[in-house]
Structures are given as C-alpha cells and as structure tokens.
Amino acid sequence: MSITCISGGRVIDPEHGRDEIGDVWLEDGRVCAPKPDALNVERIDARGCVVMAGAIDVHTHVAGANVSAARLLLPERYADVERPMDHWTGAPFDLFSTGALYAQMGYSLVVEPAVAPSDAVATHTELECIPYVDRAALSVIGNDDVLLGLLRDKASDSAIADYVGWSIASSRALGAKAINPGGVAALKANVRAFNLDDVVPEYGVTAREIGSKLRQALGSLGVPHPLHLHTCNLGIPGNVKTALDTIESAEGLPMHLAHLQFYGYGNEGDLGMSSGAVQLAEAMAKHPNISADIGQVMFGPTVTISSDALTQFNYRRRAKPKKFNVRDGDSNGGGVVPLTYRAKSKINVLQWAIGLELFLLIDDPWRVFLTTDHPNGGPFTAYPDLIALLMDKSQRDAAIEALPDDAFQSTTLKSINREYSLSEIAVITRSAPARLLGTKDRGHLAPGAVGDVAIYRDQPDRAKMFRAATWLIKDGTVAVKDGEVLTARYGKTLSLAPDYDPGITSHVRDAYDARWGAPPDTFSVPENLLRERSPFEVVSCQR
C-alpha cells in the first residue's frame, strides 16, 4: 500500500468548487481521504504550486492511418532537428514523444477523435505505444455504407442504435464522431460541395438527418459523450451559417462541435472572410446542449490531417510543400495537406483571432475545450502559449500589435478584456473534458478519483508554468519531475461496452461482404494487441 500526500499547494478542483491551499492524498493510485495517522507517507511539498487533476485533451490527432500518412509524406521535416521531441516542425511527433510531451505539460488522458472502424486495430496498436498518458478513441461514423443504407431503407431507430453500438464496441471507442457526414460519401460521387441539407447521392439522406439519427442513437445507448460532430463546410468563408444551422439542428439534444474556430467564418469585408465568433458565442449561450472544442490556430508550419476527405480533396492544391495525400477510403478515408499559418497572412491572423474570440466570448467554460485540433490548427505543444494568451490581456495586446492591423477589422478581439482565471483553465482542460467524456473518476481531485495530479510552480509567466509541470503524478506514481519525464509507463485505453443487439451484424454482413469480401468481425479490435496485458479499461456506458 503506497500513500502520498501532496501538501501545501493551491488545490484547484472546479468540479467540487475547491480553490484553496490544502493537501491532496493518494493511496494505491487513487485520490483518497486524508490519512493523517498513516505511516510511511511519501510527501510532495507543493507549497508555491498549483495542484490540479491531470489534464485531458478531448480532440487531438495522435494516431491512425492519416497521422501515419502524414509522417510518410513529410519525413524531411522530422529529420531537420536534432531532438524532434522538443521541436514542432510541422510533422507528427512519434508516439513516445507524443506521450512524453503531453505528460510534461501535465496531461494524463488524450483522445484520438477519428478512428475509422476499418483502421481501429492498427490505431489502437499505436495508441498502446503512447506512454505516460491514458488514451481513448472516437469511432468515425456517418459516411459508411451500413449507416447510410440503414437510413435510406428507413430502418428503425433501434436498428440504427444497435449499429452505432456495434460500431463503437467493435472499434473499442469511447464514443462516436461524424466527420462531414454524408459529404465524404458524396465526394465519391464527384460532389465537390456539400451542405447540411444536401442529399447524399445513392442514399437520399442529408447531413442533417444523419446527425439527428446519430444523436438519438447515442442517447438511447447511453453513451456519455454526445455526438462529436465535424460538420459540413469546414474552413470555407461564410460557414458560420452552417455552424449556426448545425447548432439548431440538434433540437436541444446534446452535441459536441469539433474545432469550432474552423466554422467561425463570415464572408464580409475586403478579405472576403470575416469573424463569425460573436454569432457563434450568442448561439452557444442560447443552446446549453452544445459544447465545442476550439481548434485554435497557432502560427507556424503544420500539417492538416483529417478524415474529411472532401475538404482535404478541395484544399489539396494549397499544400505547401506541394504534395498531399488524399484517399477515398472505406467510410471516410482522409487526407493530409501540409501548410503553414503565417503571421503575415491576414487570413491566418483572422483565424487566430477568431479562435481567441470564441474562447473569450463564450461565457460558460464548462462547454469550451482547449484544443488546437492538433495538428490542424497547430501542435498541442502550443497549449501553454495559448493559455498565456487567454489569461493575460496584455500578452494578447502585445501579440496583436505585431500582427497586420487590418486583419482585425471584423473581429472584436481587441476590445475583449476577459482574462481566464486558473480555475477556468482547470475547467476547460480538466473538469469539463471529464464530464464531456463521461469519465467520472477523472478531471477532479475528490476521493475515488484516478490518482492523476498535475502540479505546476505558480509563476507569472503562464506559458512557462504550463509548459513544464513540476510534477505529474500518474495513477499515483511520479511520471514527471521538474518538467522531465521519468521512466516510461504505459497506461490504459478507455473504451465503452455499449449494450446493443448483436443481431444487427446481419445488416453489416452484406455490406462487408460487398466491400471487402470479409465478415463483420474482420476489423473488431481484440483484447490484446502488442502486449500480454490488455490495454483496455471499460468506462461505464450511461449518461
């Protein structure tokens, strides 16, 4: 039995309204009630530090076929630096570096949000290789033959729910994500633009209908994480209307919008693009059923990685360097398009400003999540800099000063005085993500919680503070000390086991046979992958 006392730090646990100087006790890998009489207590002196639960990233592309394709496409970027782990060059980090860098920043759980069911086995194998942090995945659904066929054939809601449950279970996911639902299927029929009410050729259904059915299905299955939706028209000026329509389309049911910044674009002004952040923030205020991660753009080289094959197909000729990889895949496929967000580009600066506006204008931090849609808006290693911008208006003003002034004409950013508190940072990086994912023993520090604790030296330079945790305790064991990772340990992959009628596989069988000449369980993820010990931990499937 091991007992640890983290003593004297400023403990910030918004889930329980705690923000005070105090102690956090851990026993056998979990947070426990104080044990003042215990012997052999390992003590961590956290005086002068801020103590929070381990952070959670709800949307970060760290594994899977598209991430792998990006590594193959851009080896020269990774080869350019002596220690790739420390430098973002615009190509995905290797898996060890991914885990280590997250841990150094105090993260303990990351969610890969786009696992194609037909790539789930390989993706989970990769996720198992990410050390220090726990992992989870969202199963991509919404452009696949089976779902579209069920919708075309007016299958019952229960049949659709059973299929969604089967898909989540067979790919061992923590939820489901729809990526340009219907739009990617339409691309295969040579459709180049697809809106919420456009009809998928051959199936006769719209994105609105697909989203509606998926929201219902997830609700009836009790999947804690609501539909994670990457809606239509990503990145297109004027798409704020699509986002607003999408929010309305939820009809009050829970829904999570992915990388909202990429949908915050009006089409007014000299740039042909303007900020729609105010409209989105107002819509978020009116619709408490909606949550969103932001997908903040940060300046520098990056590579866009997306299962929105339609968007990537349309953007492929903007690639810099001039090479891309776009695949029509089974279900979504995907695309890899490298680019650089330039501080001299008024469009890129506007994107940067819109992201910050959304963070600052959406009042309820419990429905906003800190992401860059890694690596699409920038690397996750930019989070500390982003936190600094959110917490300090003077830093924002200094950054704005160095950027082209006319890029800000349509934004309200300069006039926003809000500064995030440490407690609000804890909400958007810990408490709210845990609630969103339904991982009830994470994101807080009450007894029974997983013993994932991040301890930061409190200092005015917030970027420095959040870049290197003084300690990260993972499952009760020190994983990071003074900003450096210790011996690698491999955590768990969280998944659901939704209750569904396995008879639904009779519907799946025909589609799988036509496409692959293979049975429905061809891509089911087995209990064991690389190691003798299963990496999976099942999370309760109830809202």
Partner 1 sequence: MRDIVTPVWVNAKQPADRASVVATIADSLKSAHNPLIIIDAIDLAGAAEAVELARTANATIDHSSADNVHFFQEQGWLGTTPGEAVLRADAVLLIGPLSDEIATDEALRRLCDEDKPRAFRYVGQNAPPGSIANLVGKGLAGTNVGDMSLTALIGLVRAHINGHGVNADAAIREAVSTLGDWMQGASYGVAVFATGALDDLEGYALSGLLDDLSLKTRWNALPLAVPLGQNELQRMTSSLTGVPTPAAFRNGRAQHDGWRYGARRGVARGEYDSVLWVSGSDTDVPEWVQHVPSVIVISAHDSALPGVAAQAQIGVAGVDYPAIIEPAEIGAFAAIAPPGRSDKDSPAHLLGTIRKTLETDGAGA
Radius of gyration of the chain from its Cα atoms, rounded to whole angstroms: 22
Closer to partner 1 at the Cβ: 157 or 521?
Answer: 521
First to last CA, the chain: 33
Q: What is the DSSP string of 274-288?
A: EE-HHHHHHHHHH-T
Q: Which stretch binds partner 1 (CB under 8 A): 181-189, 250-258, 354-362, 482-490?
A: 181-189
- Cis bond upstream, residue 321 (ω within 30): yes
**Please, which residue, 202 or 268, has the CB nearer to partner 1?**
202
The nearest distance, CB 89 to partner 1, in angstroms, is 9
Our finding on whether 201 is near partner 1 (CB under 8 A) is no
Binding mask 138-157 for partner 1 (x = CB under 8 A): -------x------------
At 183 the three-state DSSP class reads helix
- Give the contacts of 508 (CB within 8 A, at least 6 positions apart): 146, 163, 166, 520
308 contributes a contact to partner 1 by CB under 8 A: no
> In the set 3, 22, 29, 78, which binds partner 1 (CB under 8 A)?
78
Q: Are 222 and 240 in contact (CB under 8 A)?
A: no
What is residue 491's three-state secondary structure?
Answer: coil
Of 500 and 523, nearer to partner 1 (C-beta) is: 523
If phi > 0 it is left, if psi is from -120 to 50 it is alpha, else beta; for residue 6 that is beta
Residues 255-294 that bind partner 1 (CB under 8 A): none
Sign of CA dihedral 379, 384, 385, 387: positive
Which contiguous run of DSSP H or E holds residue 73? helix 65-73
Please give the size of the binding site for partner 1, defined by CB under 8 A.
Answer: 55
Q: Is 534 in the site for partner 1 (CB under 8 A)?
A: no
Q: Any contact of residue 398 with partner 1 (CB under 8 A)? A: no
Residue with tokens 């501080």: 343
Q: Which of residues 507-526 bind partner 1 (CB under 8 A)?
A: 514-518, 522-526
Pick the stretch among 76-84, 229-237, 356-364, 486-494 that binds partner 1 (CB under 8 A): 76-84
Q: Which amino acid is at 156?
A: S
CA–centroid distance for 74 within its chain: 23
87 secondary structure, DSSP code: -
- Residue 489 binds to partner 1 (criterion: CB under 8 A): no
Distances (CA, A) of 172 to 114, 512, 523: 12, 19, 11
CB of 493 within 8 A of CB of 121? no
Query: Using CB under 8 A, which of 90, 92, 276, 301 touches partner 1?
Result: 92
Q: Concatenated DSSP letters for 210-278? A: HHHHHHHHHHHHT-SSPEEEE-SSTT-TTTHHHHHHHHHHTTTS-EEES-GGGG-EE--STTS-EE-HH
Based on the shown chain and the rule CB under 8 A, indicate whether residue 325 belongs to the binding site for partner 1.
yes
Residue 194 or 408: which CB sits closer to partner 1? 194
Q: Is 336 in the site for partner 1 (CB under 8 A)?
A: yes
Burial (CB count <10 Å: 0-12, 13-18, 19+), residue 157: exposed
CB of 188 to partner 1, least distance (A): 6
**Shortest distance (Å) from residue 104 CB to partner 1:** 17
Please identify which residue in 330, 419, 441, 458 interacts with partner 1, judged by CB under 8 A: 330
Answer for which of 125, 279, 340, 409 binds partner 1 (CB under 8 A) is 125
Nearest approach in angstroms of CB 345 to partner 1 is 23
87: contact with partner 1 by CB under 8 A: no
The answer to the question of residue 533 lying near partner 1 (CB under 8 A) is: no
Query: Shortest distance, CB of residue 191 to partner 1, whole angstroms?
Result: 10
- Choice from 508, 529, 539, 541 touching partner 1 (CB under 8 A): 529
> Judged by CB under 8 A, does residue 503 bind partner 1?
no
Sign, Cα dihedral of 172, 312, 410, 250: negative
| C-beta closer to partner 1: residue 291 or 376 | 376
Decide: is 97 part of the binding site for partner 1 (CB under 8 A).
yes
Q: Which residue has tokens 């639902």? A: 181
Q: Measuring CA to CA, how many Å separate 72 from each of 75, 231, 385?
A: 6, 28, 29
Q: Measured from the CB atom, is 106 or 333 closer to partner 1?
A: 333
- When asked if residue 103 is in the footprint of partner 1 (CB under 8 A), the reply is no
- Give the residues lining the site for partner 1 (CB under 8 A): 63, 68-69, 71-73, 75, 78-79, 84, 91-97, 118-119, 121-122, 125-126, 129, 145, 187-190, 313, 316-317, 323-330, 333, 336, 514-518, 522-526, 528-530
